[in-house]
Each structure stands twice: as C-alpha cells, then as structure tokens.
Amino acid sequence: MSVPELLTCQDVMKITGIRSRTTIWRRVQAGDFPSPIDFGAGRIRWHALEITEWVNSRPKRRY
C-alpha cells in the first residue's frame, strides 16, 4: 500500500494560486474545495491527488 503525497496549506496555496488561508477554509466549509485531513496538534494536510483534481476541474477561461 502506498501512502499518497500530503500537502501543507502553504503547498496548496502555491499550487492553486489562492493567496489566503481564510479563503481556503471558507471554500472547504462551503463544499467548494477538498477537505483536509487533521492529524492533530495543528497538522492539517491535503491529498495531492484531490488538489490536482480540483485544479483540473476549474473552468478554462476563453478570450
């Protein structure tokens, strides 16, 4: 069994371009962003695959 790559909030912000932790948490609470895993003691991580899928699901902007 392989362990999926886990991302910190800083990693998620770099990948998604979201500049605010607050924005990430608001989107999680609204159900518009993948939920993280809470390992306790302030260790919150997201599955890299879920973040990648979320980024790829965003609509493409056409000009």
Q: How far apart are CA 52 and CA 55, in angstroms?
A: 5
Is 1 contained in some domain? no
Residue 63 lies in a domain: no
In-domain check, residue 50 = yes
pLDDT recorded at residue 1: 45
The confidence score (pLDDT) of residue 2 equals: 56
Residue 62 forms part of a structural domain:
no
Query: Strands (DSSP E) along the chain, which ranges?
Result: 6-7, 37-38, 44-47
pLDDT tens readout for residues 14-31:
999 999 999 999 999 999
Domain count, the chain: 1
Give domain status of residue 44, yes or no.
yes
Domain limits for position 51: 6-57
Are the C-beta atoms of 7 and 46 separated by less than 8 Å? yes
Question: For the chain, which residues score pLDDT lower than 70?
Answer: 1-4
Residue 61: what pLDDT? 86
